[in-house]
Amino acid sequence: MAVWSGRATGHLVPDDIDILSPEERQRFSAFRDPVRAANFATAHAEVRRCLAQVLDLDPGAIRFGRHPCAGCGRSVHGRPYIQHPHTDWEFSLSRSGPYWLCAAAAGMRVGVDLECVRRTDFGSLASVVLSESERTYFQGVPAGRRDAEFIRCWTRKEAVVKASGIGVEATLGNIDVGPGRRAAVVSHSAAGCEVDTWLVTDLPTGSDYFSALAVPAFEEFTFFLGEKSSVHPIG
């Protein structure tokens, strides 16, 4: 397994646009904010370059598709996959602000999430997003750390549902990710997914973001954490 991360500069690089797919270019053109547009282009171009290393293919030749969501059946937010070339490599991508994160694994589902730290409406979100034991845990978290700790917990849940392929249809309050522990074994099943037990763990973080990785529990794998220095590595 390989995990790559980076921080975009907010400046558009023509070489990035050149290797994007028509669909990615359309999404790029839809941004009104040029900084957000540049960050999108950088993230997607760098992910292509990272995957090209393991696929031994030109970055621009990679084609992506989406599986139907395990919850609603729609592909608009289903689990992404590599359509070309034919491969057993799975991948997951997350972006937040200038940061991006990508994980890839051969023959194994994987999910990642990255979120910038921000203020949250903890009072209204806790009853929906947190499990009973997680709410108990948060009773002991000082108010000054609550938003950051909530974001860390959120990234874990998102990593699990992205790995399972159920996306936004998931009931996050039913997924207990053990926020008090560095890593946790999580029970979560989704239609069409043969895995119902996941290992979720925090990834190296910075002062203004959290990130998490989810993989099938009890699988053996070699972990490689890479950084893309050309776009200011995070961490």
* pLDDT category of residue 195 using cuts at 50, 70 and 90: confident
Q: Which long-range contacts (CB under 8 A, 24 or more apart) does 14-23 make?
A: 15/45, 16/41, 16/42, 16/44, 16/45, 16/46, 17/41, 17/45, 18/60, 19/45, 19/48, 19/49, 19/58, 19/59, 19/60, 20/44, 20/45, 20/48, 20/60, 21/63, 21/64
CA distance 217 to 155: 18
- CB contact at 8 A, 152 and 118: no
Per-residue pLDDT tens over the stretch 82-128 = 999 999 999 999 999 999 999 999 999 999 999 999 999 988 899 88
CA distance 91 to 4: 11
The predicted structure's pLDDT at residue 166? 79
Q: Are 134 and 177 in contact (CB under 8 A)?
A: yes
Go through the domains of the chain in sequence order and give each one's CATH number: 2-228 (3.90.470.20)
Given a cut of 50, is residue 18 above it in pLDDT?
yes
Q: Which pLDDT tens digit goes with each residue over 37-75?
A: 999 999 999 999 999 999 999 999 999 999 887 667 777
State whether the Cα torsion 155-160-163-166 is positive or negative. negative
Statement: residue 229 has pLDDT above 50: no
- Whole-angstrom distance, CA of residue 31 vs CA of residue 20: 15
